[in-house]
Every structure is written in C-alpha cells, then in structure tokens.
Amino acid sequence: MAADAGRAAGAQVTHLELADFDLPLYNADLEARGTPDNARRLKEIFHAHPAWIICSPEYNGSYTGLLKNTLDWASSPIKGDPEWSSGTKPFVGKVVGLLSASPGALGGLRSLSHLSPLLLNLQCWLTPKQYALSKAAEAFDDKGQLISGLAQAAVQGVVEQALHGARKLHAPD
C-alpha cells in the first residue's frame, strides 16, 4: 500500500524486501575482510532516494534483527573507498516515514520507539506521523490490501509527509 501511495503521488518507488539481500550477521572482524556486494548495493539504493518508508513487523517489542543487520551494514564505511568512506552517506538528510505491524493491540508501537533513535543517530529526518497497525493478522484481505479505510488513510498520511518533507528538504535553492 505504501509503495502504491508513493507511485500515485508521482514518486519514483523502489520496493525492497530486505530478505532478498543476503548479508551475513554484521561484525567488525568480518567487515575488516571486506564489505559484501549486497551491502554496497543497499548503500547505493538508499543514497539514491531522498525519502523512504520503512515498514517492519515488531518482534519481541522491537524492530527485526534483519532490519538492524541491514542498517548496520549500510552504515558501515567502506575502507579505502572514497565514495563510501562515510558510513552516514546513505542516510544523511533522508526523510523517513515509519510503519509497523504486530498481531498485538499496540501494532508495533514499541518497535517504532526503538527504531527512531537509530535513524536520528544516522542523521535521517523522521516524519511526525508514524503508524502502527494492530491486529495485523486480521487487517488485510486475501490480496494483501488493508481492509480498514482508517488504516489506509494513516499509511497514506505517513507517505504524504515523507514526500512533502523530501521535496522541501531537497528543493533547489
């Protein structure tokens, strides 16, 4: 739904499934042996887009290990590479809207509160609107579309804020 809303608003959308980017668990010893090609690809994709929407389920009150691992690799500098020597390059000034989902009543609200400081530390701008979808197992129809008009409007609001913020922040002087 978020990708469709972005396209409808005229944005160039790249839909990523993080599981499609095979990355080992991040650690500095492994990084010292070289940066995986998929980490470099993610850096390039992240850097190319002025706004992102991160949609993540909540696992045990926080965001997923897959998301954390991806952000760790994408924020890791590539030693000896002048283009990627700064770990924050893919993140600085990006406008990020956050969406979460959980089968519980809070809808992943706790995961958003954990993810926000990490993204702020990477110098991203976060949209004031965020949305946590509760009872996610019951929230979608058989085609994967949100059933509730209120949920659809909430997602739309996050997407609109991210695009608006990116346009304002990245507008030519």
For the chain, domains (ranges, CATH) are 2-169 (3.40.50.360)
Stated pTM of the model: 0.94
Longest CA span, the chain: 50
Structure tokens at 17: 């499934």
pLDDT digits (tens, 9 = 90+) for 64-99: 999 999 999 999 999 899 999 999 999 999 999 999
pLDDT digits (tens, 9 = 90+) for 96-110: 999 999 999 999 999
Structure tokens at 96: 């990020």
User: How far is Cα 22 from Cα 127, in angstroms, rounded to an integer?
Assistant: 29
Which helix H or strand E contains 95, and what residues bound it?
strand 95-101
